[in-house]
Amino acid sequence: DAKTTQPPSMDCAEGRAANLPCNHSTISGNEYVYWYRQIHSQGPQYIIHGLKNNETNEMASLIITEDRKSSTLILPHATLRDTAVYYCIGRNAGGTSYGKLTFGQGTILTVHP
């Protein structure tokens, strides 16, 4: 499996950058890394995805190491509304299709005033 490992919880002060790490040491060359977040029991919300290069959008930046074994999601100026569970997702290599995804346990990010 393309197993992902994340710390169970992290804290961040409002206005500071939140850096959420993810290890995906079994990822293969053509597998994307995806990040989603979930607030309470709402449907997960897409944040960003990447393959090899670093990516940035209006929500966050994604830094992928050169060996692609880990990545970091950066929320540049965290707000209280960014408090959520953040999931790093890789394709489940046990499947024959890139549609098979493994969410993992996620990181509970708490942003405090």
Q: Which residues bind other proteins (CB under 8 A)?
A: 30-32, 34, 36, 38, 41-46, 49, 51, 87, 92, 95-106
Region label for 106, one of left (φ > 0), alpha (ψ between -120 and 50) or beta (otherwise): left
Nearer to other proteins, 5 or 16 (CB): 5
CB-wise, 18 or 85, nearer to other proteins?
85
Q: Token digits for 24?
A: 């995906």
Between 29 and 113, whose beta carbon lies closer to other proteins? 29
Rounded Cα gap, residues 98 and 113, in angstroms: 40
